[in-house]
């Protein structure tokens, strides 16, 4: 799928800009291993049920999004490749309301920081899969692409992070992989997260 190539290419181009910003050393956070623990709220602006019919092909049904939202709790463990780029692996639990789903995302987290200061803007990419839970009917794929801000909470190593991302999920409704499934749900929205990096 072409979008799978375009999004990482755009993200890598964005990361290249972060290399030329500020050479001041961040003595607090942009080195070594880290953990981000975050909570999130997703504003859902589009939800669609898609089913495969042998006679009609893919049939798309729009789902109502009034009172639709999701709550998220995630933890990410990673490493700073250099003061401007970090990579890690995250796992979490996302609870959706209207449509009602619980999903367990497992994803790669890549961040590009625009400076090596204690406070910094950054770009973030999360890409991964949804593990089977709830009887194995909600596996799938996920993508978050956005920007965030990091700043110190105290004078030591504890930092606050907040992200604003476009969030996409494709959820299987029959327990099969997305490639084999005959029924899946697509959910798009804006994800706002708050967390601590330490």
* pLDDT score recorded for residue 19: 46
* pLDDT score recorded for residue 195: 96
Secondary structure of the chain as H, E, C letters: CHHHHHHHHHHHHHHHHHHHCCCCCCCCCCCCEEEEEEEEEEEEEEEEEEEEECCCEEEEEECCCCCCEEEEEEEEEEEEEECCEEEEEEEEEEEEECCCEEEEEEEEEEEEECCCCCCEEEEEEEEEEEECCHHHCCCEEEEEEEEEEEEECCCCCCEEEEEEEEEEEEEECCCCCCCCCCEEEEEEEEEEEEEEEC
Indicate which CATH number applies to the domain containing 179: 2.40.160
* pLDDT score recorded for residue 7: 52
* pLDDT score recorded for residue 40: 98
Domain span including residue 141: 2-24+32-197
Total domains in the fold of the chain: 1
pLDDT tens, N- to C-terminus, the chain (198 residues): 444 545 555 454 444 444 444 444 545 568 899 999 999 999 999 999 989 887 778 888 988 888 899 999 999 999 999 999 999 999 999 999 988 888 999 999 999 999 988 899 999 999 999 998 766 667 899 999 999 999 987 776 678 999 999 999 998 888 787 788 888 899 999 999 999 988
């Amino acid at each position: 799928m072409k979008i799978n190539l375009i999004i990482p290419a755009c993200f890598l181009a964005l990361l290249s800009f972060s290399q030329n910003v500020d050479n001041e050393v961040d003595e607090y956070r942009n080195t070594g291993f880290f953990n981000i623990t975050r909570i999130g709220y997703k504003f859902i602006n589009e939800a669609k049920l898609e089913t495969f019919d042998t006679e009609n092909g893919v049939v798309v049904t729009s789902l109502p999004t009034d009172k639709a939202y999701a709550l998220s709790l995630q933890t990410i463990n990673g490493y700073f490749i250099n003061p401007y780029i970090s990579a890690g692996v995250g796992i979490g639990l996302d609870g959706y309301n209207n449509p009602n789903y619980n999903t367990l995302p497992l994803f790669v987290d890549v961040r590009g920081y625009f400076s090596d200061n204690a406070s910094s803007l950054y770009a973030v990419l999360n890409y991964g899969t949804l593990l089977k839970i709830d009887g194995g009917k909600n596996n799938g794929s996920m993508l978050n692409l956005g920007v965030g801000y990091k700043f110190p909470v105290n004078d030591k190593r504890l930092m606050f992070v907040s992200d604003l991302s476009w969030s996409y999920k494709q959820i299987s409704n029959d327990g099969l992989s997305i490639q084999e499934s005959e029924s899946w749900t697509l959910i798009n929205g804006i994800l706002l997260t708050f967390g601590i990096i330490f």
